[in-house]
């Protein structure tokens, strides 16, 4: 990467799901360069061990900081649940914005007191998520639905794949039986199949994701003046997986141009 084009904001996810957060950041931070790392060669994190997830997140964070990022966005619920505390301990002076399942807004939105949370097994088993439920779930029936394999299917980018649709039907069925009226999309991959999940639930269920809230928090933490240069803003995508596939998915999912490359040394 050209050293004069180093990004201000570094973003990462286990794969392509965090592009949903990148899209919100792009809209909220119109003057800032962005660098996104998709760790697709090691995705999905949701079925990995906590030690493995921690090792990968620290390695990618180190890379983003070396590239010049002054703020990090963890665009992965699983990485947040497992490793955000250790990242903040290691780099206490670096502002870190992390996604987490939108339990609080779901509690505010529910009409019948029954909400569902769709997330990876690693997110739902984490202490951070348990604290989140304790803080915001009192008096509400919260129905947890682990979704093993769903992020991996979404990662393939084929939204009418029968295997993907079968998983969506499988994971939404228990929540429908529980009569939830609000469902938290607790993985940044899931908004890319929002339409398919909504169709499975029907129009009476509200889906909640937190990409825009994450972007607003990043904007609040960026205290330095906005760049005054007239040069076009740069958006770089790197992947540990297949760069051609990431380029194709970005062209389909993002309404702006990106430079796409293989992630060096990751």
Torsion of CA 113, 118, 121, 125, to 10 degrees: -30
Q: Does residue 46 have a known ligand-binding role?
A: yes
Q: Tell me the sheet residues that pair with 10.
A: 35, 72
Choosing from 29, 35, 43, 76, the catalytic residue is 76
Give kind and range of the element (H or E) at residue 239: strand 235-239
Contact 45, 78 (CB under 8 A): yes
76 is catalytic: yes
Q: Does residue 14 have a known ligand-binding role?
A: yes
Choosing from 72, 122, 187, 246, the catalytic residue is 187
Q: Does residue 189 have a known ligand-binding role?
A: yes
Alpha-carbon distances, residue 144 vs 52, 107, 152, 232 (angstroms):
24, 14, 19, 44
187 is catalytic: yes
Contact 94, 62 (CB under 8 A): no
Q: Does residue 137 have a known ligand-binding role?
A: no
233 φ, ψ (degrees, to nearest 5): -65, 140
Q: Does residue 179 have a known ligand-binding role?
A: no
Give the rounded distance of the alpha carbon of 110 from its chain centre: 23
Q: Does residue 77 have a known ligand-binding role?
A: yes
> How many C-beta neighbours within 10 Å does residue 234 have?
19
- What letter would DSSP give residue 26? H
Q: Does residue 78 have a known ligand-binding role?
A: yes
Contact 80, 100 (CB under 8 A): yes
CA–CA distance, 224 with 18 (Å, rounded to integer): 25
Which residues does the annotation place in the binding site?
Answer: 13-14, 45-46, 77-78, 188-189
Which residues does the annotation place in the binding site for substrate?
Answer: 13-14, 45-46, 77-78, 188-189
Catalytic residues: 76, 187
């Amino acid at each position: 990467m050209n050293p004069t084009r180093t990004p201000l904001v570094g973003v990462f996810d286990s794969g392509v799901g965090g592009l949903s957060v990148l899209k919100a950041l792009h809209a909220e931070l119109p003057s800032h360069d962005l660098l996104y790392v998709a760790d697709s060669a090691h995705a999905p994190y949701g079925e990995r061990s906590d030690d493995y997830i921690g090792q990968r997140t620290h390695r990618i964070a180190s890379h983003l900081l070396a590239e010049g990022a002054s703020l990090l966005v963890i665009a992965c619920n699983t990485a947040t649940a497992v490793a955000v505390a250790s990242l903040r301990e290691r780099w206490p002076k670096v502002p870190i914005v992390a996604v987490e399942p939108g339990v609080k807004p779901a509690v505010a939105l529910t009409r019948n007191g029954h909400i569902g949370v769709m997330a990876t097994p690693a997110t739902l088993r984490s202490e951070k998520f348990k604290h989140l439920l304790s803080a915001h779930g009192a008096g509400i029936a919260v129905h947890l639905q682990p979704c093993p394999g769903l992020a991996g299917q979404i990662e393939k980018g084929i939204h009418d794949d029968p295997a993907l649709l079968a998983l969506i039907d499988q994971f939404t069925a228990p929540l429908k039986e529980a009569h939830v009226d609000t469902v938290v999309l607790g993985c940044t991959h899931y908004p890319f199949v929002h339409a398919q999940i909504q169709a499975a639930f029907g129009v009476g269920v509200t889906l909640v994701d937190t990409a825009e809230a994450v972007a607003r928090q990043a904007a609040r933490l960026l205290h330095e003046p906005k760049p005054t240069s007239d040069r076009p803003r740069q958006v770089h995508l790197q992947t540990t997986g297949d760069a051609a596939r990431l380029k194709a998915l970005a062209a389909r999912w993002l309404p702006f141009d990106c430079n796409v490359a293989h992630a060096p040394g990751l």
